[in-house]
Structure 1
Amino acid sequence: MKSNVPKFLKAYREVVVPYLIEKNGYKNIHEVPKIVKITLNCCMGSSGDIKVALEEAAKEMALITGQKPVKTRAKKSISNFKLRKGQEIGCKVTLRGERMYEFLERFVWAALPRVRDFRGLPTRSFDAQGNYTIGVKDHTIFPEVDIENLKRNIGFDITIVTTAKTKKEAIDLLSSMGFPFIGEKSKPLVLSA
């Protein structure tokens, strides 16, 4: 019988949690940092044909994440960008649970190796609370995207929200899950299939 539990979630429970308890000396299993959610955010506000661009971006994000995006609106009017308050300018997707771990699998094992001239992820993109934000300039790094029917290139931000209290805890968590950070010497505990 085949298990439907994502490999990243299984590896987090069986390998990463014991490793982090031993490395950082946590006394309780609930102290170990974990990933809470992943948010993908795309803004098409500067496009000339914003309605068409927004529909294409929403379709591509749904294809990449497996979840329908929510459209976001402008909070205030900016005349230089021809934006009006309340106008739809982007879309976002929030992933949790198993779907989040499946997206992480595809992002770390399939998408990141397809980035041109990839040398690793920067560690300066962490905030003080242990959350990590990555900018993706080209969405064609994801294998789900059909490059031949592509009309425009879409860039978006990926924010990984963790329960880590410090930047070091967050780096330990994500690097042990296979994120290739620049300058991190530790071997990832979650290996590709």
Structure 2
Amino acid sequence: MAEVKEKKAKAKPEGQGKGAEGKREDKKGGKGEKKPKLQSVLAKTYQGEVVPKLIEKFGYKNRMQVPRLEKIVINTSMREALQDVKILQTAANEIASITGQRPVITKAKKSISNFKLRQGQSVGARVTLRGAYMYEFVSRLVNVALPRVRDFKGVSNKSFDGRGNYTLGLTEQTIFPEIDFDKVQKINGMNITFVTTAKTDEEAKELLTLMGMPFRN
């Protein structure tokens, strides 16, 4: 079973991940991908329940000041992809199954001789979720996937970056029900970064908590 890794969030602009670059992800799901409802239950919960509670706690003067989840960036990288590109393609297909949106393949920005890495070589996959896809992913993550982690006791509350963004590290993709364990060729981890409009980590933590993120006490 999977374990949850504690990661320090480090949200970066699109296409500027460490050592990798990629084309902008498609905002719409590709052919054969699942499409979420126009407005998910969690999106309605945010508007109807989360916003009022945040206003009450932090004293915002209007709803426009209330923090919101802006996007979720999911990325994975693997050294094995340097020898076998099929491994990376399989990982990308798994991310597409999990998120309902096709990721882009990230490539090395420079060569590193010690790792036998050449500039432009495929090294990972990344997808950015917004809108309905984003809310649907959060709902399935907190209600279905995380509870399947062995001896799960909540996620770390120390993985914020000081700017209201949070990164969760997972060691296995198999906690998602979309992945058939019997067909998995390689266990892959992933980093999931929640980018919010919150100005402080305290506000971001409260936002994510009210949206169901099970932080440890």
TM-score, normalised to structure 2, is 0.81
Measure, in 2, the Cα distance between the counterparts of 1:112 and 1:144: 13
| Counterpart pick for 2:154 among 120, 123, 140 | 120
Structure 2 residues without counterparts, runs of 5 or longer: 1-36
Structure-1 residue corresponding to 2:110: 76
Q: Do the aligned residues in 2 keep the contact of 1:44 with 1:50 (CA within 8 Å)? A: no
Q: How many residues get paired?
A: 181
Measure, in 1, the Cα distance between the counterparts of 2:79 and 2:109: 12
Which secondary structure does the structure 2 equivalent of 1:73 belong to?
strand
- The root-mean-square deviation of aligned C-alpha atoms, in Å, is 1.2
Measure, in 1, the Cα distance between the counterparts of 2:113 and 2:39: 49
Q: Do the aligned residues in 2 keep the contact of 1:70 with 1:93 (CA within 8 Å)? A: yes
User: Could you give the per-residue CA deviations for residues 40-69 of structure 1, whole angstroms, max 9, x where no partner exists?
Assistant: 001023456330111111110111011111
Higher relative contact order, chain-length normalized (CA < 8 Å, sep 6+)? 2
Give the letter for the 2:102 counterpart.
K
Measure, in 2, the Cα distance between the counterparts of 1:96 and 1:4: 12
Structure-2 residue corresponding to 1:35: 69
Q: Do the aligned residues in 2 keep the contact of 1:125 with 1:133 (CA within 8 Å)? A: yes
1:136 to 2:170 alignment: yes
Give the letter for the 1:102 counterpart.
E
Measure, in 2, the Cα distance between the counterparts of 1:4 and 1:88: 34
User: Could you give the per-residue CA deviations for residues 62-116 of structure 1, whole angstroms, max 9, x where no partner exists?
Assistant: 1101111101001111122211111011010000001100000100100000011
Measure, in 2, the Cα distance between the counterparts of 1:130 and 1:137: 23
Structure-1 residue corresponding to 2:58: 24
Give the letter for the 1:120 counterpart.
G
Measure, in 2, the Cα distance between the counterparts of 1:48 and 1:35: 34
Q: Do the aligned residues in 2 keep the contact of 1:50 with 1:89 (CA within 8 Å)? A: no
Structure-2 residue corresponding to 1:6: 40
Structure-2 residue corresponding to 1:92: 126
Q: Do the aligned residues in 2 keep the contact of 1:120 with 1:182 (CA within 8 Å)? A: yes
Structure-1 residue corresponding to 2:145: 111
Which secondary structure does the structure 2 equivalent of 1:19 belong to?
helix
Identical aligned residues as a percent: 53
TM-score, normalised to structure 1, is 0.90
Which secondary structure does the structure 2 equivalent of 1:123 belong to?
coil
| Counterpart pick for 1:145 among 171, 179, 185 | 179
Measure, in 2, the Cα distance between the counterparts of 1:66 and 1:39: 13
Q: Do the aligned residues in 1 keep the contact of 2:67 with 2:207 (CA within 8 Å)? A: yes
Which secondary structure does the structure 1 equivalent of 2:92 belong to?
helix
Which secondary structure does the structure 1 equivalent of 2:74 belong to?
strand
Q: Do the aligned residues in 2 keep the contact of 1:135 with 1:156 (CA within 8 Å)? A: yes
Q: Do the aligned residues in 2 keep the contact of 1:45 with 1:83 (CA within 8 Å)? A: no
Which secondary structure does the structure 2 equivalent of 1:148 belong to?
helix
Measure, in 2, the Cα distance between the counterparts of 1:70 and 1:45: 17
Which secondary structure does the structure 2 equivalent of 1:125 belong to?
coil
Structure-1 residue corresponding to 2:85: 51
